[in-house]
Structure 1
């Protein structure tokens, strides 16, 4: 990972995740690249509406203000646009007062290859293949799904929610569940309770969040994290001991034993939720911004 940003938390986001580009994307799909480029240039002074990730990005960038202007969070844009067609995106960034100054416009090619060069901890996109490519290159990444009724968190605190297996943790235990069933999974977790699990694709991102939280007194952090997992007792112990071994703090842990996660995510007030299973993402996405993590046995 590049060290050009020092100890900053670095998040890359696609233009379609940050802004609502559905109209212009439809033109691209139906009429082709030339018509799309002409449309974007003709409308480059028309401000784009916020997209799925916009509220999260706003809250992230406000963290720098909480630190007295010290820049500890960097949000950058990765886009398939050219710089010419991307001018509308930058005009919209300026309109909303977002402190985003770095971008890579890849002119129709996949921009994921710049994720590692920028040293990103997280990549959010609406393009599933770009997300898979980033994950394969060791970067936490998720495909942002369109919410039926997205809602911004009720306060200034930025709340991340994560599934456990195949997201924060490896899918080693989930593989047992898929191949041998619940009883074998439970027995394995009981017998391995004191053996920390391997990290999943979002471990490094969670660790970076933990480091940023440490910049604030415990009760004053502008970031909260939650584990929202289908696990229940006795499979909870290995999770707790794993996080303890990693020396990573999770603010809230919900062991739901297979209950639907949506109501709990709403009660927590999640700004964004990451899960590896599309069924869970579809359910949660009706209420909050949700990122599908195409990783592990559930996505084989």
Structure 2
């Protein structure tokens, strides 16, 4: 009976999670402004850390439309720019056109307006390389994750998403006990906020992933348990399945450094709430 109730609950969640899947980026992640002078005379801004992400997202959309021309569950990317000059605004729009990037909307706002901009556009995921922006969004109830730094144009035909097995696998009681292992109250609250925000995105990604076969999929989902035990990893996989997502790959590191795994997988999205920085803490049993 419990399984049946859970099934109907997931179905209800899916009804309220209709496409498109809105993702927000910041312009300084999409373009590398550090390598250009104040007076911008180039034809287009240099590619930034989010460039391979955009290309991978477009590949997923193209493959979905190949399967169904009327597909509505697609990625839509909006670009947010904080505190930039009129010259930069114009160059951002020109550069997006130059590279053929599919950006749904542009928002130029003040720094303090970022959260309101994300909320008003019902963003399903805010990506940033700035951990402070990610934490602020999470604590405001906005799904947010780290945009993993992609230094080169490696494989562009597959979007890779890593979910934290630590965040998903811990129960409410387990989160509260993390203070005994050296986690601060702020970190624990961030982990709780991250888990709450992950569900809707995981449901939508799961629905997308099921539209493709096991091989040659443009979308790859992984679970990375960097600190917790095998039981925590198993709990995370079970929770994701309840949300409608079967992960393609799972890594249970039990306290081992995760950088070697990240260097091989090269994810575009690292949704971990900061757990990957906790390598020096003892392994949860």
| DSSP 3-state at the match of 1:102 | strand
* Ranges in structure 1 where 5+ consecutive residues have no aligned partner: 28-38, 182-197, 283-300
- Give the TM-score of the pair, scaled to structure 2: 0.73
Greater helix content = 2
What is residue 258 of structure 1 aligned with on the other side?
255
Q: 1:18/1:180 Cα in 2 relative to 1: closer, same or farther (>3 Å)?
A: closer
User: Which 4+ residue blocks in structure 1 deviate beyond 4 angstroms?
Assistant: 126-129, 167-172
CA–CA distance in structure 1, aligned partners of residues 118 and 216 of structure 2: 31
Q: 1:48/1:261 Cα in 2 relative to 1: closer, same or farther (>3 Å)?
A: same
2:277 to 272, 277, 280: 280
What is residue 154 of structure 1 aligned with on the other side?
155
Q: 1:74/1:14 Cα in 2 relative to 1: closer, same or farther (>3 Å)?
A: same
| 8 A Cα contact 2:23 2:123, kept in partner | yes
What is residue 30 of structure 1 aligned with on the other side?
none
What is residue 189 of structure 1 aligned with on the other side?
none
1:14 aligns with 2:16: no
**Structure 1 position 126, deviation (Å):** 4.3
CA–CA distance in structure 2, aligned partners of residues 171 and 14 of structure 1: 32
| 8 A Cα contact 1:13 1:77, kept in partner | yes
CA–CA distance in structure 1, aligned partners of residues 168 and 48 of structure 2: 24
Q: 1:204/1:101 Cα in 2 relative to 1: closer, same or farther (>3 Å)?
A: closer
- Give the TM-score of the pair, scaled to structure 1: 0.70
CA RMSD of aligned residues (A): 3.3
Number of equivalences: 247
1:229 to 225, 244, 247: 225
| DSSP 3-state at the match of 1:166 | helix
**CA-to-aligned-CA distance 1:181-218 (integer Å, 9 cap, x gap):** 8xxxxxxxxxxxxxxxx944322222221122223334
**Structure 1 position 43, deviation (Å):** 1.6
**Structure 1 position 171, deviation (Å):** 6.5
